[in-house]
């Protein structure tokens, strides 16, 4: 078999055979298929799609490229969560310790930033000393002793996805529904969690811009998980506006700690609790109260133990960018729109994300919001603050923010979208 034939099949809108899928995933993992060839195939998949049979086989081939984990030795039921990515989406950070505080074990394998969306590992690495890379033995030990672990997938877990995940980020193929579904589910099924809650983002700041595409992706992933014996549920959640008041790495860690301390923006709190309740129910834990675990400090206790167990210092000062630039409101009235995608691109251009898979990220870079839709603003008041270590990036970031918000006359009625739009099980 040869990769050119595989590319041509999908380029010409054909169906890839099981043999073609198995071969190309294995050959790419071994380095026989080059990055530029897999880039061409990924673009063909983005443009022409895959049917359910192809997606299921692609996912199985990704799983078969590596090992599978097992958490049967734990005394707690396992529950995991995955987000398809958004702007200001720091939910994993308070969610994992919260669910652990309520009695489940949370083996959270997370990733790095993709395009304009932030990565959980990039955020946590802004904590001095914190390590994303753990051996399977270390991961199991942290999970057993603290109840939660957030780390990178090991080299042995779906290695095909690890290569393809980084490639998609820099080739404009992140949005392909078959590749999103197979990437997420191959890791989660191989990870060995007993139940999984998917946070499928919808809106300008998400990879799924409309609810129909989001439902298609959610349904595909729920079916893949269920067929593999993993209890899988999906929530469709709004990503037309950034979550919370920060988009960046250290900025989002700081806000997550505020949530764990019983404060923080209401939309972040509401979504964290909604996802926690779904995870606990899926794990068979019926009587836990996530809101109480946030209020009484037990979730914060788990956070501190979890960060310390991975070498981090939960009391250390977080990095702060050397330069700031304030964007002010152009008019007085009611803020009715703040585009999540524009804010995400702005944070990425400031250094919070990467243009190439090899690029470093700035821990302190990002955007801090001073108002959200529904708030009353006055002309000239700070609307957002841009943070970066490299001030020459301000002009490039500001270009992405042109026209990103609307201000209506004072007294204009405003109704925000609900944070949870739909549930698929």
For residue 399, what pLDDT band results from cuts at 50, 70 and 90?
very high
Assess if residue 318 is contained within a domain: no
- Position 153 scores a pLDDT of 82
Name which of 10-24, 151-165, 267-281 the model is least confident about.
Answer: 151-165
Assess if residue 368 is contained within a domain: yes
**Same-domain check for residues 39 and 85:** no
- Per residue in 217-265, pLDDT tens? 999 999 999 988 999 999 999 999 999 999 999 999 999 999 999 999 9
**Same-domain check for residues 210 and 271:** yes
For residue 66, what pLDDT band results from cuts at 50, 70 and 90?
very high
**Same-domain check for residues 376 and 341:** yes
- Position 116 scores a pLDDT of 84
**Same-domain check for residues 232 and 86:** yes
- Per residue in 324-378, pLDDT tens? 999 999 999 999 999 999 999 999 999 999 877 678 899 999 999 999 999 999 9
**Same-domain check for residues 328 and 197:** no
Q: What is Dmax (Cα atoms) for the chain?
A: 66
**Same-domain check for residues 134 and 241:** yes
CATH code for the domain in which residue 359 is found: 3.90.1170.30
**Same-domain check for residues 259 and 396:** no
**Same-domain check for residues 284 and 368:** no
Active site residues: 82, 161, 168, 183, 187
**Same-domain check for residues 268 and 193:** yes
Assess if residue 214 is contained within a domain: yes
Rounded CA-CA distance 198/379 in Å is 40
**Same-domain check for residues 133 and 205:** yes
Q: Which domain holds residue 132?
A: 80-154+187-309
**Same-domain check for residues 258 and 304:** yes
Assess if residue 60 is contained within a domain: no
* Mean pLDDT value of segment 92-101: 98
**Same-domain check for residues 284 and 340:** no
Q: Which residue has the higher pLDDT, 85 or 44?
A: 44
Assess if residue 252 is contained within a domain: yes
The domain total for the chain is 3
């Amino acid at each position: 078999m040869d990769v050119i034939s595989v590319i041509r099949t999908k380029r010409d809108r054909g169906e890839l055979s099981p043999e073609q899928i198995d071969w190309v995933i294995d050959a790419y993992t071994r380095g026989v298929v080059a990055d530029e060839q897999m880039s061409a195939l990924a673009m063909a998949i983005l443009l022409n799609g895959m049917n359910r049979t192809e997606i299921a086989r692609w996912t199985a081939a990704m799983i078969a490229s590596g090992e599978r984990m097992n958490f049967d030795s734990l005394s707690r039921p396992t529950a995991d969560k995955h987000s398809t990515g958004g702007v200001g989406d720091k939910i994993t950070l308070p969610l994992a310790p919260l669910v652990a505080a309520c009695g489940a074990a949370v083996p959270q394998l997370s990733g790095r930033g993709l395009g304009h969306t932030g990565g959980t590992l990039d955020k946590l690495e802004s904590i001095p000393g914190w390590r994303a890379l753990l051996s399977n033995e270390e991961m199991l030990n942290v999970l057993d002793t603290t109840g939660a672990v957030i780390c990178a997938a090991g080299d042995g877990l779906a290695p095909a996805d690890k290569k393809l995940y980084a490639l998609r980020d820099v080739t404009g193929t992140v949005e392909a529904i078959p590749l999103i579904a197979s990437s997420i589910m191959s890791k989660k099924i191989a990870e060995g969690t007993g139940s999984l809650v998917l946070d499928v983002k919808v809106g300008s700041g998400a990879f799924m811009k409309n609810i129909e595409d989001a439902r298609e992706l959610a349904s595909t992933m729920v079916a893949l998980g269920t067929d593999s014996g993993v209890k899988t549920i999906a929530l469709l959640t709004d990503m037309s506006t950034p979550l919370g008041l920060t988009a960046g790495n250290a900025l989002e860690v700081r806000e997550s700690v505020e949530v764990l301390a019983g404060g923080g923006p209401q939309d972040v709190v509401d979504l964290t609790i909604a996802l926690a309740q779904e995870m606990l129910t899926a794990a068979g834990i019926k009587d836990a109260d996530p809101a109480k675990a946030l209020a009484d400090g037990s979730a914060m206790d788990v956070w501190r133990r979890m960060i310390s167990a991975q070498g981090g210092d939960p009391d250390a000062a977080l990095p702060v960018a050397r330069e700031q630039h304030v964007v002010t409101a152009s008019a007085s009235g009611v803020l009715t729109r703040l585009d999540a995608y524009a804010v995400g691109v702005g944070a990425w251009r400031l250094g919070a994300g990467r243009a190439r898979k090899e690029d470093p990220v700035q821990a302190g870079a990002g955007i801090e919001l001073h108002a959200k839709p529904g708030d009353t603003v006055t002309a000239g008041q700070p609307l957002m603050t841009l943070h970066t270590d490299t001030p020459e990036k301000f002009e490039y970031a500001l270009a992405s923010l042109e026209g990103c918000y609307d201000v209506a006359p004072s007294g204009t009625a405003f109704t925000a979208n609900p944070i949870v739009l739909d549930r698929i099980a």
